[in-house]
Structures are given as C-alpha cells and as structure tokens.
C-alpha cells in the first residue's frame, strides 16, 4: 500500500502561482500512476493531471484541457513526491485538490477517479478575483 499526503494549498489571487506536493510513503511512486484531481463545492471530483514513470529517461504526463499550458505535473523519485505546479491561477481553479495513486497495470485511461486506489486527504486551493 501507499500513503499519500498533500500540501501546498492556500489562498491566492488570480494570476498567482502555487505548487502542490504529494508525498508518498509505503511504496515508491515510480511504481504508480499518480494523478491530481479536484473537487469544487457542489461539483463532482474532476481529473486534472497524471504522471507515471516509464524508465529513467521517460516520464509520461497527461492534462485536462483546462490545465494544459498552466499546470505542470512532475515527480521526484528520490523524494518520493509528486508536484503540481499551478500558474496563472483563476477563480474557477478554486477547489480541494487530491492526489491519488494506482498501480500502472490497473490504470486504463488515468482520468477516472475509479481507477485509483489510494487517496490523500486533500488540500484547499482558493483563488480570489
């Protein structure tokens, strides 16, 4: 099993940046697909981005359309941590952000929360206009 703990959320103004961290323990993140999801009040949880390590030279990432060009997901295998760098934040990015993990062989698309077995507790991101 893997335990995930998010951090880095906060209250920022539109246009600002935040970097969220997802620290893993129990297993190395290199074995897992790690995704970021978010849930705004009154809305369903939605996919933001995922990352998985193919080999020492190749890391694959995928983003939802609203995150492309503004968010960057990355992983530091040495620190067993996945990051979500969020730039040019907008009020509509306000949500609780969750990181989630799943063994690669269990993941088909990587964009459905039902594919992920392990979840962090979430970190609140609030963007004011």
Torsion of CA 109, 112, 114, 117, to 10 degrees: 70
Average pLDDT, the chain: 94
Triad 128, 81, 71: Cα angle to 5°: 40
Write the pLDDT tens digit of every residue in 39-78.
999 999 999 999 988 777 778 999 999 999 999 999 888 8
């Amino acid at each position: 099993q893997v335990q995930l703990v998010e951090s880095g959320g906060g209250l920022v103004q539109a246009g600002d940046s935040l970097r969220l961290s997802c620290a893993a323990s129990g297993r190395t993140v290199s074995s897992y697909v790690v995704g970021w999801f978010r849930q705004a009040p009154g809305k369903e949880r939605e996919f933001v981005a995922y990352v998985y390590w193919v080999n020492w030279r190749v890391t694959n990432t995928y983003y939802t359309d609203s995150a492309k060009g503004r968010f960057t997901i990355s992983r530091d295998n040495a620190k067993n941590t996945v990051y979500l760098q969020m730039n040019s934040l907008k009020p509509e990015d306000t949500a609780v952000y969750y990181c989630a993990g799943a063994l690669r062989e269990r993941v088909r698309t990587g964009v459905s929360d039902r594919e992920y077995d392990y979840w962090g507790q979430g970190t609140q991101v609030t963007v004011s206009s």
